[in-house]
Amino acid sequence: MERATSPEPRAGLPATPCPLPPASWGLYLVTDRHQTGDRDLLEVVGHAVRGGLRAVQLREKDLSTRELYRLAERLLDITRAAGIALLINDRVDVALALDADGVQLTRRSLPPKAARDLLGPGKLIGISCHSLADVHEAVADGVDFVVLGPIYATPSKVGYGPPVTTALLKEARSACSLPLLAIGGIKAAQVPAVMASGADGIAAISAVMSAPDPALATREILSAVSRARRT
Ligand code: TZP
């Protein structure tokens, strides 16, 4: 399928930088503006960026399309200036409209192959998986990376039943060579266990969004990931 041309880069921003590969991110920050206390979401993400963040997923499911677009536009100013990746949860249309770095799909989203046709080969497609069957499907669908969880119990997401545990992470690692990011109840203290179970990095909401010092929380998680990679 012929892909429409990308929108013009916004003034002062580089044109479509190559996103960093997911296996190198260490931490993939997932937003939730309801978990920031009284702080502005972009302010919290800005602190995380100063702490060394390399990738962020905008996941604000209760916003209207227009509100999400406007927020993504402002977030893109931050991520482009810092040279880090911005992926949009579920909304391929919003990612396309802003020439964001990719999308994070779920099993209720547009199928990955349809998203690829729209986004083209240069954008990242991540998929959220909750079982080994999901992971096998993700491999067949040609996504770029998998986010697997919830590994541990987390109040940030209900409705996926009990935690899948690090046992599933180990099985997923044996079953696929895609970059695998562990999510769900993970803070710096849990990083060694998930990395030892085969994760390439972690994804997190509350560990950073709710942290009193999001830059420090980011730095601590990234250091824990680097240490785990060396062991
Ligand atoms: N998918 C699986 S668990 C989860 C998502 C989006 C929530 C993770 O939140 P937290 O606060 O990092 O446990």
Query: Which atom of ligand 1 has the smallest separation from the CA of 160?
Result: 2
Distance 185 CA to ligand 1 centre (A): 6
Q: What is the pLDDT along the chain (231 residues), one digit of tens a residue?
A: 444 444 555 454 444 555 789 999 999 999 999 999 999 999 999 999 999 999 999 999 999 999 999 999 999 999 999 999 999 999 999 999 999 999 999 999 999 999 999 999 999 999 999 999 999 999 999 999 999 999 999 887 777 678 999 999 999 999 999 999 999 999 999 999 999 999 999 999 999 999 999 999 999 999 999 999 998
* Closest by CA position to 211, among listed 21, 45, 28, 79: 45
Distance 182 CA to ligand 1 centre (A): 9
| Cβ-contact 188, 15 below 8 angstroms | no
Give the global pTM.
0.93
Token pair of 84 as six digits: 């880090």
Round to whole Å and give the CA distance between 28 and 207. 11
Beta carbons within 8 Å of 14's beta carbon, 6+ residues apart: 80
Radius of gyration over every alpha carbon of the chain, rounded to an integer in angstroms: 16
Q: Is 99 left (phi over 0), alpha (psi -120 to 50) or beta?
A: left
Q: Is 58 in the pocket of ligand 1 (CB under 6 A)?
A: no
- CB count within 10 Å of CB 192 equals 14
Give residue 48's identity as a one-letter amino acid code.
A
Round to whole Å and give the CA distance between 208 and 231. 25
Architecture of domain 22-230 in this structure: Alpha-Beta Barrel (3.20)
Round to whole Å and give the CA distance between 101 and 122. 8
Distance 66 CA to ligand 1 centre (A): 25
Q: Does residue 157 have an active-site annotation?
A: yes
